[in-house]
Structure formats: C-alpha cells, structure tokens
Structure 1
Amino acid sequence: MVNGLIGYKLGMTQVYSDEGKLVPVTVIEVGPCKVVQIKTVEREGYPSAQLSFDEVKEHRVTQPVRGHFKRANVAPARVLREFKGDLNGISVGQVITAEIFQKGEFVTVTGTSKGKGFQGVMKRHHYRGGPATHGSMFHRRPGSIGASSFPSRVWKNKGMPGHMGSERVTAEGLEVVDVRPEENLVFVKGSVPGSEKGLVLIHKAKRGKVKKQAEPAKKK
C-alpha cells in the first residue's frame, strides 16, 4: 500500500482523548485518491504510485493532462502527486481512502505556509532591533550588515528584509488522534502548515511506532 495521501486542511478544533485530556487537533480531509499511474524501477527507474485528488470537469484541465487521465480511465482531477511505498496489490484506477492510516500512529504533513508579504528583519528573522529611546533612529532596522574594507560586500545568507512565508514546510512526528474513513477525515495532534483549505500531503512517518491505546478500566 502507498505510504501517503493528498488532502485539504480544514482547520483546528479540540477533542477528548481516551484519558479524558483535551487535545488540540488539525482536521484534514484526506482523499479519496485514485491511482492514475504506477511507475516501476524497470521503466521509470524508481517505484511509485501517482495519485489524483479533487475531481474536476474535463474542460478544467489541459488536453495533454486529459489524455493522461483517459489512458488510465480515471476522471480528471485538480491535483496529481506521487507516493512511494509497497506497490504490491496496487492497480491503476484503484481508490485509496483514509483507511490506510490508523489511530495512534505518527505521520508527516507537508504544506505551503501562509504568505506574509514583505517583512522586516524583526518579524522575519527575530532580530532584537536597536534602542527604542534617546533618538537612536534605528528602532526596527537591521543595523550593520558587514565590514567596509573586507570583504567589501554583504555575506551570503545574511538576514535581510524580504518576502516571508508561502514556502514548502514539513511537520514531522504528528500523532494521529482519530480516523473517520466514512467522512474522509484524519485528526492530527497539533498544528499543520498552511491556511484553511490549503493543499497538504500526509505521509506515514519513517520513525515512530503506533502508540498503544489505553485499555478501558475493568468493572469490579
């Protein structure tokens, strides 16, 4: 089975754990995804399954992409992504749902962070800034950015004002609190990169085993 699926981040809420603790969770609408193409080591050089998500009308995709979906006899979709994993038993046209995830296991979620536009060094790089009193005149400025005689330039990777956010961000080791395959929902503990209704990729974590669930107390 593939090791991940495509989904949309719906937002955050709170649920009660089996121990009665209130846990902040992110709700992700995962799948259903259809297998459009299976890549093998012999043909493409690596094994993976190409999945589609969020079906659209045919006129919403370009003609080459439309032919790619027709070759697989799958309805056109808005998103195409590849996932690696054990491809035994996987066939083109197969529908994969949130059932591949289970409560208590750990996942990795990748998304695009919120865009914050052009920002200064204090917000973008957490600079301390200059003195706020006595007429220093550089309260929120970066200050000195390099020496004059050597190297007579600004070093690479120097923290400067610029565009902030709207980057690919990956959150690792997030625990799956609940899975509802009939509603295509996965509840993940903690926050997930991106804004609401943002596209995310959720993978099974390479590290971390399934967390054992607490057994219900026996009645005396």
Structure 2
Amino acid sequence: MSSTAATYRLAPRGGRPAVVWRAAYDRGGEVKDGQPDQGTGTPPVPLAGGLVALTDNAEPRMHLRVLDARDGSEVCSAALFEDDHSATRGPLVSVGRGVVVANTAGSSGWSPTLLGRAPSGGVARVDVVDGECVERWSTDLVAPSAGAVVSPVTGLVYLPTKRRSWWGADAWYLTAVEAATGHTAFGVRLGLGPLVDPADPTGSPVALGPDGAAYVGTRGGLVRVRDAD
C-alpha cells in the first residue's frame, strides 16, 4: 500500500497487520493538476520476478519507481513524459516485467476536455531489463482517465481516449494499443459530449467481459463495445 509519502509492505504478525518495510518516495512540492493529492497517483502494482511498481510525484517530471518486493529497495526508476506536464492517477497496467503508464496531467475537472480541447497526454510502457528501467515505447494518445486494462488473450491494452478537434467536437474513444509495440490497433467512438467523458477521478479501469465485450464507465452511464456480428 502507499500513503502520500511512502510505500509499505504489510504482513500479519500476532493476528494484527505489521509493517515489514517502508520506502519513501519524492512527493514533490504541490498537488499536480491531474492528481487528487500530493503523492503517488497509483497503488503499488506487482510485477513478475518479485518486483513492485508505482509512480512518484517528483518535479519537474514524475518517475516510475520499481522496488524489490522483499525489502523495498529501489531496483530502478525512469522519468516520464514532459517537464511540468506529468502526472497519473489510478492503477498502472502490469505487463510481465513492465507497466503501461497513462499521463493524466492537466485533466482535473471538466474544462480541459471541452470544446475539442485535450490535455497534454501521453502513454508509455516501461520494462525492467537487466536491472534498468527502459522505456520500450511511448505514444501521444490522450487518456485522461488512466482507466487502462490489458487482455492476455489479444495482447492489447484498452483505454478511453480523447482526440483534439479544431471543430470543437468532444469525441471520446475506446482505443486498443498493442502492448508489445505501442501501435494503435483500432479506436471505437464511445460518443460525443461531456457526459461521455470517462475521466472519473478514481481512474476506474475499462472492464473486459467473458464474451469479449468492453465496458467503459462514463459520467452519463455505462458504454458497451463489442465486435459486430
């Protein structure tokens, strides 16, 4: 678990939870636009090989931090996105010994996505390779809800996205990205207008059903996307 200052590993001891280790991280000097508080915007996510990943709140860029789950020591870290435009909220997407991170900087409230606008955005995958954090790919997709999920069946990462429009159209999409390469496989329009905005402050993820359908929670309700018959 994480607080706004450190990450902890807990274990039962004498019938009560006890702290096994505590690992402090850089929480920056302020609450960033796009995060709910001054601290990490993500819960710790376990990775293959006994690792755990989270993001910090460092300035001018946040970092993905990977820790050894046994003792909390840092394995590696990597700065993400642009100076003064990097934040995230909601769960990271675990992919083997790496994670997919969506940039939510500048996405607080309704106004950043109205009238065809979109925040800075960015989606990246970082892998742990020989003890180093290596950025495997990055895209300029704008995914302000950070509600991504990966399918081990298709090898795709699904996430709600917003496209900028000079015509002022507020169109939202469910976009599928190849987890291995970052290439966009397809995008399906969820609808138009602010009520289709999936930018829930909790960063609730896309849900994949057993029939292959994807479910996206929006401000106006639930949208179901599936292959045409």
TM-score normalised by structure 2 residue count: 0.23
User: Greater Rg, structure 1 or structure 2?
Assistant: 1
Structure in which a larger fraction of residues adopt helix = 1
Question: Greater strand share, 1 or 2?
Answer: 2
Say which structure, 1 or 2, has more relative contact order (CA 8 Å, 6+ apart): 1
